[in-house]
């Protein structure tokens, strides 16, 4: 643990490269039928939503309150984190694509550009959040990384599907999806550099606000779009599993 504390840049670099490699998960669709792809995507989104909320409420916010020692300031920063993603969606047309490719009818070139830009911005901000968390402690960093990873899997699958739908070959979509994923590494380096000039702990509640927005505004509404009761049950169980894992980590390792 002491070695990890002394080498946060190594942790940030390795974890960021691992996160960037998640963008290659689209390669799995080479072996999946469209029917099975649609079947697993929504439960993964539900798992992601639960893990993001679990990380926020069981780890990032409690750690922030304890370290900053100012409850009001902590929740102001949480709100600002929430607000920042709201502004991004409103003014940069940010859209997280988890729907099946056949459900998108926007002009292909415009949609392709939106996916690449929004995914790059999202990955960069995620890299800042994870990098800042590792600068606070390896444990908080791993928790934040895990939550981001669970969120990235369904998002990258969805984005990959849409890029293929816009006319790119699977190999080309995979390549450019990976390039956008590398902005996560850039975000991690930015967080590391900023840590020498500002108190990085203030990024934790801000990141929690980001996570809460993603879960409640982008993800939960999508898993509420179901056709059968059995789908609702599966989505609910996946959501609870996501929060339960993060709560369990808090209880066991606190």
What does the pLDDT average to over 163-177? 83
What does the pLDDT average to over 229-253? 89
The predicted structure's pLDDT at residue 39: 80
- Residue 101 predicted with pLDDT over 60: no
pTM for the full predicted model: 0.78
154 or 236, higher pLDDT:
236
Binned at pLDDT 50, 70 and 90, residue 1 comes out as low
- Residue 104 predicted with pLDDT over 50: no
Distance (Å) of CA 85 to CA 1, 50, 73, 235: 34, 18, 19, 24
The predicted structure's pLDDT at residue 105: 46
What does the pLDDT average to over 177-195? 93
């Amino acid at each position: 643990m002491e070695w990890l504390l002394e080498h946060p840049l190594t942790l940030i670099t390795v974890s960021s490269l691992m996160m960037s490699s998640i963008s290659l998960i689209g390669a799995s669709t080479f072996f999946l039928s469209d029917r099975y792809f649609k079947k697993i995507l929504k439960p993964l989104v539900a798992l992601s939503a639960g893990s993001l909320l679990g990380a926020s409420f069981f780890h990032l916010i409690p750690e922030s309150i304890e370290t900053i020692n100012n409850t009001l300031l902590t929740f102001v920063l949480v709100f600002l984190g929430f607000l920042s993603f709201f502004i991004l969606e409103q003014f940069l047309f940010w859209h997280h694509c988890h729907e099946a490719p056949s459900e998108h009818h926007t002009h292909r070139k415009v949609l392709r550009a939106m996916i690449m830009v929004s995914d790059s911005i999202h990955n960069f901000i995620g890299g800042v959040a994870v990098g800042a968390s590792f600068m606070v402690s390896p444990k908080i960093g791993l928790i934040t990384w895990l939550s981001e990873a669970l969120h990235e899997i369904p998002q990258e699958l969805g984005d990959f599907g849409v890029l293929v739908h816009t006319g790119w070959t699977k190999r080309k979509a995979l390549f450019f999806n990976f390039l956008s994923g590398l902005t996560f590494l850039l975000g991690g380096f930015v967080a590391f550099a900023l840590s020498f000039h500002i108190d990085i702990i203030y990024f934790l509640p801000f990141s929690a606000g980001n996570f809460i927005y993603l879960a409640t505004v982008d993800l939960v509404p999508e898993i509420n779009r179901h056709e059968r009761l059995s789908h609702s049950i599966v989505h609910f169980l996946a959501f609870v599993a996501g929060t339960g894992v993060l709560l369990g980590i808090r209880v066991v390792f606190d």
